[in-house]
A = this chain, B = another copy of it.
Amino acid sequence: MSQHWLDEIAWNADGLVPVIAQEAGSGKVLMLAWMDREALQKTVDLGEAVYWSRSRAKLWHKGESSGHVQKVHEIRLDCDKDVVLLKVEQTGGIACHTGRHNCFFYRLEGEGWQAVEPVLKDPEEIYG
């Protein structure tokens, strides 16, 4: 019997793998989060991104409180089998908890980080 697809992943010492979420339509990189084995299995079963929250130490169904779920179009793995790439449809067009489209809104300009993406919705409105 062939090896289970979850066993082929090179999980790190904490049993996690970094996961890049990329918007399927725009190609924009939305965020990076982490998954354990259960999170990735649930992501496949549900068709929506489920991460492992390292700060809260529990499974995190992205969008469970905001409604901003990520519908999974495709799941990729890299050459070393230690990084996952999800191509997703971002419900609500907001991936970041700050109310921005994506999490990579600081741009290095000269000697400083500048926030260069607009807040689309007040976080208090999203989570309040």
Contacts and interface: CB of A to CB of B under 8 A. Distances in A.
A28 to B, nearest CB: 7
Interface string A76-108: 111111010100000000001110100111111
Given A18-B18, A27-B26, A104-B85, A32 B78 contact: yes
Q: How many copies does the complex hold?
A: 2
Contacts of A59: none
Place the interface of chain A in its size category: 35 or more
B31 A78 contact: yes
Interface of A: 2, 4-5, 8, 18, 20, 22, 26-29, 31-32, 44, 74-81, 83, 85, 96-98, 100, 103-108, 111-113
8 contacts: A4-B111, A5-B111, A18-B32, A20-B20, A32-B78, A75-B107, A77-B104, A77-B107
